[in-house]
Amino acid sequence: MAEAEDIDSDVDEDTALDSFPADPTDQLTSEEESDLVDAEPIALSVSYSGQDFDVDGLVRRLISKDILIPTFGHEDDRISSAGFQRSFVWVRPQMDRFVESLLLGYPIPGIFLVRQADRRYLVLDGQQRLKTLQYFRDGLYEGKEFSLKNVADEFRGLTYKTLTEEQRRLLDDTFLQATIVATDGTPASLEAIYQIFERLNSGGTQLTPHEIRVALFAGPLIDFVEKLNKNEQWRELYGKRSPRLRDQELVLRIIALYNDSAAYRRPLKSFLNTFAARNRDLEYYATDTITSLFASASQLLVDAGGGDILRPRGSQLNVALTEAIFVGLMRRIDSGDDITSDQVAAAVEAISRNPEVESVTSKATADEDKVRTRIDIASRIFTDA
């Protein structure tokens, strides 16, 4: 199966104390980097406060579930914006050196929390640090004893239980600064948090725009998008699951542009955020129709050539081309006119070889005129197929 991740950008080191090479899938694509820095048309204000938590208190709150680290795809009715934190990505050298930094009294980057109406805290940034603390305090990581290895000689082999009393007090009494933003769950407050968080989103394991979106706009729509993302034929087309939710974001792009391409404006993140906010609870959304159209389009594309049909110029899936093909094909299916897999194959070939399409699916693909051009061309070719 061809890889679906299009990695073409460099990334900064995680922090001074986390300078180990990141997995390539952790790097942001050039499009994601552009989306993060694109200015929103309206800058929203947000209220926040600072609070210091000692390590002992943080771990106790994690254990008691007063601080929650949701993981995408895990239902939890205690979390009003459920399932946004991507999986734990630090490797052991990073974990060991973080603990060592605490034992040496080095300054530690702060964490970012969202306070819900029930006064629970959700971790929006800082999962790696908090989970490392919990693993070390528990003494286990992935079923094995958590003893320090990638550290200076004086700390090598130590576990939490074998720390000296002085070392334990130093560790437990270390304070981490938290930036806390409260949300009432309204689209405006969530968009404000999105804007402030992306300004704090830095380092070698930066969250993508969609990972932030899933955090703040979670609900029936995001669940529906993930359901489509599990479609067997879609998975055959896209390839393996993206650890950064890029496959899910592409599904959201397809249905958002299918429903409202005329309203598209840069930046892409704001367009998708607005769509997610307006349709968060699926109150005005014909999910059965979209499910049928998406599944039918996926099946036709599989029959027409499978995953290779969306990769005309190499092994990487072209996101801009894929969204145009899906939107155009879904429009044709919705028109009621039958279309065969052979016709789909010929239409995709014509779209892929169209010089104008090639120019609007290579660089600056989020530009308004480029988005509309490729969708219009794809829709016209499918209509004439």
pLDDT at 286: 81
- Averaged confidence pLDDT in the chain: 83
pLDDT at 139: 96
pLDDT at 31 over 80: no
pLDDT at 41: 62
Q: Are 176 and 53 in contact (CB under 8 A)?
A: yes
Residue 303 burial (10 A CB sphere; 0-12, 13-18, 19+):
middle
Across 146-161, average pLDDT? 96
Instruction: Spell out the residues 6+ positions from residue 25 whose beta carbon is closer than 8 angstroms to its own.
Output: 5, 7, 242, 243, 244
pLDDT tens readout for residues 131-146: 999 999 999 999 999 9
Percent of the chain's residues with pLDDT above 90: 52
- Residue in 295, 385, 282 with CA at minimum distance from that of residue 340: 385
pLDDT at 190 over 90: no
Residue 73 CB neighbours (<10 A) = 11
| pTM for the full predicted model | 0.68
pLDDT at 203 over 60: no
Instruction: Spell out the residues 6+ positions from residue 52 whose beta carbon is closer than 8 angstroms to its own.
Output: 175, 176, 177, 178
pLDDT at 320 over 90: yes
- At residue 372 the predicted structure's pLDDT band, cuts being 50, 70 and 90, is very high
pLDDT tens readout for residues 100-137: 999 999 999 899 888 876 788 888 788 889 999 999 99
Q: Are 125 and 201 in contact (CB under 8 A)?
A: yes
Instruction: Spell out the residues 6+ positions from residue 77 whose beta carbon is closer than 8 angstroms to its own.
Output: none
Instruction: Spell out the residues 6+ positions from residue 120 whose beta carbon is closer than 8 angstroms to its own.
Output: 65, 66, 67, 68, 78, 79
DSSP assignment, residue 307?
G
pLDDT at 79: 40
pLDDT tens readout for residues 343-366: 999 999 999 999 999 899 988 888
